[in-house]
Amino acid sequence: MAAPHTELLTLRDLLRWAITRFRGANLVFGHGSDNAWDEAVYLLLHTLHLPLDTLEPFLDARLLERERQRCVDLIHERVNTRKPAAYLTGEAWLQGQRFLVDERVIVPRSPIAELLGEQLAPWIEDPESITRVLDLCTGSGCLAILAAQAFESAQVDAADISTDALSVAQSNIALHELQDRVRTLRSDLLSQIPENRRYDLILCNPPYVNSRAMTALPPEYRHEPRLALAGGEDGMDLVRRILADAPRHLTPDGLLVLEIGHEQAHFQAAFPDLDPVWLSTETASDQILLLRQAQLTA
């Protein structure tokens, strides 16, 4: 009897089979795609070195045996290891841009990227006025790079406590040819940022997952560095430190843009006197907040 994969002759056949495998294995998505179809399309087109935004012309193309085998192997690996697709391909896409990733960093997916694509309008009226930006907990460096592209007059610092993460960030800075405007800094949150350094904008996607949620994470998320996810009992351990230290590193008109995921209730309980602006994106209205330097100082 022939091996089952020899019956998968076309890309359409492989796509149908991959979706069946994904659904049968109850995979969890959320690292670049949110459903089995999109992830299967991405993995197959990536493996075949086809344009990631062009599926239809190739659906009924017959595959060579070696091409089919590479696709089958990758689909099996996704199911058997439960690793996010980005770790299998070594890349992730955010705001249409490619970033190098591996298991030293979380997979880029912050909705702050969408706001940077809009240059944080209307909260920043003149993008040219932004001359210094800090991306705190930079991980892969994706937000630092997007910030440099959004604010062309800015020098951007990409800070992280993890030297492994900073190595990945440096690779991405080089990939996007931004070495003259984006630099990495090793810092435990703001504690190693030079005292006299002030920023017009601080971006931060910190570890914020509360302890109860950490115990319930699906296998896909357990492949990511715990250091980049766990935020303590209520998810606010690092947020408390950031809000305490941020005022002295912001200019008088400076802004802090902070992602807290699904922890809005915990944030409001921890900081009942703060009244941030909640920034809406295509996918959420309660996951990113904006605070001005004056609010944090008060």
Same domain for 248 and 165: yes
Name the percent of the chain lying above pLDDT 90.
96
Q: Does 98 reside within a domain?
A: no
Q: Does 97 reside within a domain?
A: no
Same domain for 240 and 142: yes
Last residue of a domain, one of 63, 89, 115: 89
Same domain for 68 and 214: no
Same domain for 161 and 80: no
The three-state secondary structure class of 232 is coil
Q: In what order do the strands lie in the sheet with 199-204?
A: 182-186, 155-160, 132-136, 199-204, 250-259, 288-292, 277-279
Last residue of a domain, one of 40, 58, 89: 89
Same domain for 176 and 37: no
Same domain for 193 and 223: yes
Same domain for 29 and 149: no
* pLDDT on residue 1: 34
Same domain for 28 and 148: no
Same domain for 112 and 51: no
Structure tokens at 132: 């210094």
Parent domain of 73 = 4-89
> pLDDT at residue 102 above 50?
yes
Q: Does 133 reside within a domain?
A: yes
* pLDDT on residue 2: 41
Cβ–Cβ under 8 Å, residues 78 and 88: yes
Q: Does 58 reside within a domain?
A: yes
Last residue of a domain, one of 59, 89, 119: 89
Same domain for 131 and 76: no
Same domain for 132 and 166: yes
Name the percent of the chain lying above pLDDT 70.
98
Q: Does 185 reside within a domain?
A: yes
The three-state secondary structure class of 198 is coil
Cβ–Cβ under 8 Å, residues 287 and 261: yes
Could you give the CA distance from residue 215 to residue 179 in angstroms, rounded to a whole number?
Answer: 39
> pLDDT at residue 264 above 50?
yes
Q: Does 157 reside within a domain?
A: yes
Q: Does 95 reside within a domain?
A: no
Q: Does 94 reside within a domain?
A: no
Same domain for 140 and 60: no
Cβ–Cβ under 8 Å, residues 133 and 147: yes
What is the domain-level CATH number for residue 39?
Answer: 1.10.8
Those residues with Cβ within 8 angstroms of residue 286's Cβ, 6 or more apart along the chain or in another chain: 264, 278
pLDDT in tens, 165-208: 999 999 999 999 999 999 999 999 999 999 999 999 999 999 99
The overall average pLDDT reported for the chain is: 95
pLDDT-derived band of residue 283, with 50, 70 and 90 as boundaries?
Answer: confident
pTM: 0.94
pLDDT in tens, 7-18: 899 999 999 999
> pLDDT at residue 121 above 50?
yes
Task: Tabulate helix, strand, coil % of the chain (nearest 5).
Answer: 40, 15, 40
For 31-70, the DSSP string reads SS-SSHHHHHHHHHHHHTT--TT--GGGTTPBPPHHHHHH
What is the domain-level CATH number for residue 146?
Answer: 3.40.50.150
Q: How many domains does the chain have?
A: 2
> pLDDT at residue 4 above 90?
no
* pLDDT on residue 285: 86
